[in-house]
Homo-oligomer: A and B are copies of this chain.
Amino acid sequence: MPVRVDVRTSANLLGRVLTALAGPLAVLAVVALLYREPVAPFVVPAAGSLAAGVGLSRLERDDPGPREAFLLVALAWLSIALVGAVPFLVAGVGTLADPVNAVFESMSGITTTGATVVGSFEIHARSILLWRSVLQWLGGLGILVLAVGVLSGLSVSGAQLMETETQNQNVTKLTPRIARTARLLGGIYAGLTGLLVLVLLVLRLVGLAPNMTLYNAVAHALTTVSTAGFSPEAASIGAFSPAVQWVVIVFMLVGATNFVLIYFVLQGDSSRLRESEEFKFYIGVVAFAAVIVAGVLALDGQFATTEETVRHALFNVVSIITTTGYATVDFDTWSTGARHVLFLGMFMGGMAGSTTCSIKTVRWLVVAKTFRRDLFTAIHPTAVVPVRISGGAVDEGTIRDSYVFILASIVLFAALTVFVVADAARAGVEIGEFAAMGAAASTFLNIGPAFGFAGPYGSYEGFPVTTKLVMTVMMWIGRIEIVPVLVLFTPSFWRS
């Protein structure tokens, strides 16, 4: 391990990321051509990204240590957010023509958050709206690679948690296996996305989804499997038929499932999935929340039929807990009980080893099981009892990391809420406490929609510029699990 952080190594690896980013931008240029829309918004950043990437790749590099990996991860997400904002700026249409808005939207994309500053959707080029979806799909891919690859062996990773669940498969241990696993999970990810495009088009063919064009199928497949949530439709998935909504529910749930378990299912071994305590816990939480929301909606007489009540309750609960952030209706108009459960659901997240954001169910499961163990040791102080998940013992370091991560998330969320309300008071922007908490949780935990004017059918455009900048930073911090950014601000990171 080098004695001081080797910036050149991180920069070299960042160069490869930026070089690769030119690819999707070039694809979007072709899409723009096909739609007879301006290509400059994509050609400009593609050229820039390629030039910067090739330049950086020429730097000498060594084997990266933890510090170089943290620096790479932090810089990669930040750089893509900046490059990703260029198409919006060059296009220069509507709210996205503003630099702060453009960077907010791009960061919201690559972090798979889905919080939008778009005011009206119809004024934007289709290629621009598709770029939002592509950014999110790339963000989901990046997280999968991060989970198995770069962060493996670093103390902050979801990798140990993923391993806990996959029981000594050690899929992440050896470098060749890391690359192989990353390719494998990436393949599953791409395959699921393709499958969803197909399913949506079949629904249209059989007459169950009249407005599901190829464009819409692709745009929504990209942001469903990545549990990311951008939609080119102002009404989100509410623009489509009930059949589409049910299909999207299933694919959001799949996108929030541990991809290693999905791999085993594809290998014909579904026992691991069925026996996974985390999977049962995750499905149980979704069901529990959906039952409460459906109950409240039924009490309120919000919908005419039971199917509608169940569908809208389930869809929006799944959308929030899987951190996707789609909506089928404006749930901001629902009553307290329903909205509050959605708010708390933001802190859950899907399984480790999935594309989801937020805290993730395995951490909550670890903490809950540890608490039960602690109640036992409180009365049997000399007993030594391991915490077990799906039969395997969870090591105490992983338990500690789960506590630290959850609490750090909650504290940073709370700090963000203070900034949001204080900055709103300063700028004279009217916002309620719950709306402020919702927007803070939804951006930092990378969900997307919140309540009030930042509701599912609203926009974050109304926040003060300073709040939007801070939220942009918090989306970045939240998506790469806090530590890779925060360590950069400790003096010892830069010292030898």
Binding site for B on A (CB under 8 A): 66-67, 70, 154-156, 292, 295-296, 299-300, 335-337, 339-341, 343-344, 347, 367, 370-372, 374-381, 400, 403-404, 406-408, 410, 414, 417-418, 421-422, 424-426, 431-434, 436-437, 483, 486-487, 490, 492-493
Contacts and interface: CB of A to CB of B under 8 A. Distances in A.
Contacts of A337: 421-422, 424-425
A340 B436 contact: yes
User: 7 nearest interchain CB pairs?
Assistant: A337-B425, A403-B403, A433-B434, A337-B421, A340-B421, A340-B433, A434-B434
A376 B340 contact: no
B299 A379 contact: no
Contact of A371 (B67, B404, B414, B493): B404
Given A296-B425, A381-B66, A344 B407 contact: no
A421 B372 CA distance: 27
A483 B418 contact: no
Nearest to A299: B425
Given A336-B431, A344-B417, A490-B376, A295 B407 contact: no
A154 to B, nearest CB: 7
Nearest to A408: B371
A335 B434 contact: no
A70 B421 CA distance: 42
Which of A154, A425, A437 has the largest count of B CB atoms less than 10 A from its CB? Answer: A425
Which of A300, A371, A375, A406 has the most C-beta atoms of chain B within 10 angstroms of its own C-beta? Answer: A375
A374 B294 CA distance: 42
A288 to B, nearest CB: 10
B425 A487 contact: no
Contacts of A406: 407
Nearest to A154: B378
Contacts of A421: 336-337, 340-341
A292 B410 CA distance: 20
Given A403-B403, A404-B371, A425-B336, A155 B66 contact: no
Q: Which among A156, A426, A433 has the greatest number of chain B C-beta atoms within 10 A?
A: A433
> What is the count of identical protomers in the complex?
2
A487 B404 contact: no
B379 A493 contact: yes
Contacts of A490: 372, 375-376, 379
Given A299-B426, A407-B403, A418 B378 contact: no
Contacts of A424: 336-337
A455 to B, nearest CB: 13
A340 B440 CA distance: 13
Nearest to A335: B425
B344 A379 contact: no
A195 to B, nearest CB: 36
A67 to B, nearest CB: 5
Given A299-B426, A336-B424, A337-B424, A492 B379 contact: yes
A413 to B, nearest CB: 11
A344 B414 contact: yes
A336 B436 contact: yes
A19 B370 CA distance: 39
Given A155-B377, A404-B374, A422-B292, A433 B339 contact: yes
A376 B426 contact: no
B299 A432 contact: no
Contacts of A375: 483, 486-487, 490
